[in-house]
Structure 1
Amino acid sequence: MKRIDAKQLDALLLGAKTIEEDGLGIKVARLDNGDFLKLYRRKRLLSSDLWDLPAQRFADNARDLLNLGITAPTVLDVLMISERRLSAVRYQPLPGDTLRNQLRQLDAGARAALVKQFGAFLGELHQHGVYFRSLHLGNVLLLPDGGFGLIDLSDMKLENRPLAPWKRRRNLQHILRYAEDIDWLTQQHLDNWLAGYAVSANQRNTERFSRDLKKWLAAR
């Protein structure tokens, strides 16, 4: 981790393009050299972010995913800007487009195939012990080589064994938050999604995932 002051941050952001912001300022920027800078603001004076920086979690999770062979951004720096209560991660962005945007552009047949591929990727994540609470179709990139990559990684934990059924069930709640995603995954292409998941997960976990998903659908 590198500590910089406010002037150094301003210099880093000079000429940058804002990608995401809120009422308090920039959240993600593309720097003039093409790198991305993601900023995390500590909202309270005393916060767990003081000893568990979300920017450091992003960097650690990116490293761990890459070690598993799962595509993630390459982190260049983790920064602390104490006088502005900010931490930041500078990284090289992944090429490609979000899975959500890609699904919008496809006909039903091609969309079904891509949903099945996403199911296999999700099963792979769960078998690797990846519990990604921010997982949704806007945080999965379809890469130029046809594979998938993950972004926005601070809210993720990696376990040393396949995820327990209850964590797979809870992950459904994170994935199925947007009406458009719900329609594709649970209405139009449910069988494709489950068939893809079965490719990467063992039979027992696939059956439990399918059962939990159907319970979720029945409760809506």
Structure 2
Amino acid sequence: MRIVTANELQGWLSQGELLEKDSNGPKVIRLPDSRIVKIFRSRRLSLIARLRPDARRFAERAERLQQLGIKTPVIDELCWIERGQSISACLYHPLQGNPLDKLFHASNADFQALLPHLAGYIHQLHQKGIYFRSLHLGNIVQTPDGGFGLIDFLDIRFKKRPLGRMLIRRNFQHLQNYLQRRKVQNFPWSELMRCYEEVSKSSS
């Protein structure tokens, strides 16, 4: 992993489009060539974070998901922003498509039509042993071919077998908590659960 110079970082910020930031600084930048810079400020112990930086963990998870047939962004490069502070970054080509939160707010009717497919996709993740704590509408993308893919999956976990009922329930609770925090109104929760149960029964 190379170290990004201060001038290069400033060039990203001045020439690119800042998509996301927090109190610590920029988090996501779109470069003029359409690639994305995702900056990770690790919360882990400094030595562990330097030995296995978050950017590398993100790239490893992307590769593992792709091996399981799950679409993700394509990682281009890993680098350090400040190694001493355990601040790393990924440069990647974004996953083409529309996040489901945008689709939901754009047209409730169109989103309703997606529910059986969305339920099937979530069931597929669970059957592959994928436990995605950050499962929410902003992290699932509908791709141009009508399928789905995942973004922002640093906290994803891979189990050796399909998820059990407890983890499935907990996973949906994370989604429900997200909807409550965002004060999302009129989300078809009961319909999503019904579709998921139908998929589960048909596959058993």
Band the TM-score falls in, shorter-chain normalisation: 0.7 to 0.9
* 2:187 corresponding residue in structure 1: 184
Post-superposition offset of 1:105: 2.2
Q: Distance in 1 between matches of 2:141 and 2:56?
A: 22
Matches within 5 A, 1:150-161: 150-161=150-161
State yes or no: 1:106 paired with 2:107.
yes
Post-superposition offset of 1:12: 4.3
Post-superposition offset of 1:83: 4.7
Q: Distance in 1 between matches of 2:27 and 2:8?
A: 17
Q: Which residue identity is paired with 1:184?
A: F
Query: What secondary structure sits across from 2:137 in the alignment?
Result: coil
Q: Which residue identity is paired with 1:90?
A: L
Post-superposition offset of 1:8: 3.7
Change in Cα spacing, 1:45 to 1:123, as seen in structure 2 (3 Å) is closer
Q: TM-score, normalised by structure 2?
A: 0.85
Query: What secondary structure sits across from 2:138 in the alignment?
Result: coil
CA contact (8 A) 2:42 2:54 kept: no
Change in Cα spacing, 1:117 to 1:51, as seen in structure 2 (3 Å) is same
Matches within 5 A, 1:43-54: 46=46, 48-54=48-54
CA contact (8 A) 1:115 1:193 kept: no
Matches within 5 A, 1:111-190: 111-177=111-177, 178-179=179-180, 183-186=186-189, 190=190
Query: What secondary structure sits across from 1:134 in the alignment?
Result: coil
Q: Distance in 2 between matches of 1:3 and 1:116?
A: 45
* 2:59 corresponding residue in structure 1: 59
Change in Cα spacing, 1:102 to 1:197, as seen in structure 2 (3 Å) is farther
Q: Distance in 2 between matches of 1:112 and 1:41?
A: 37
Query: What secondary structure sits across from 1:154 in the alignment?
Result: coil
State yes or no: 1:93 paired with 2:94.
yes
Q: Distance in 2 between matches of 1:161 and 1:43?
A: 29
Post-superposition offset of 1:114: 0.8
Q: Distance in 1 between matches of 2:44 and 2:57?
A: 19
Q: Distance in 1 between matches of 2:95 and 2:118?
A: 18
Q: What do the CA deviations read for 1:166-202 (whole angstroms, capped 9, x no partner)?
A: 211211121112135574242xxx2354324532x45
Q: Distance in 2 between matches of 1:196 and 1:44?
A: 35
Q: What do the CA deviations read for 1:58-101 (whole angstroms, capped 9, x no partner)?
A: 11111111111111000011112315541001100112211121
CA contact (8 A) 1:27 1:38 kept: yes
Post-superposition offset of 1:47: 6.2
Percent same amino acid among aligned pairs? 34
Q: Which residue identity is paired with 1:100?
A: D
Q: Which runs of 4+ in 1 moved over 6 A?
A: none
Q: What do the CA deviations read for 1:95-116 (whole angstroms, capped 9, x no partner)?
A: 22111211222244x3322122
Q: TM-score, normalised by structure 1?
A: 0.79
State the Cα RMSD in Å: 2.5
Which segments of 5 or more consecutive residues in structure 1 lack a partner in the other structure?
A: 206-220
CA contact (8 A) 1:122 1:197 kept: no
Q: Distance in 2 between matches of 1:11 and 1:105?
A: 34
Which segments of 5 or more consecutive residues in structure 2 lack a partner in the other structure?
A: none
Structure 1 residues 118-127 or 154-163, which shifts more? 154-163
Aligned length: 200
Change in Cα spacing, 1:33 to 1:154, as seen in structure 2 (3 Å) is same
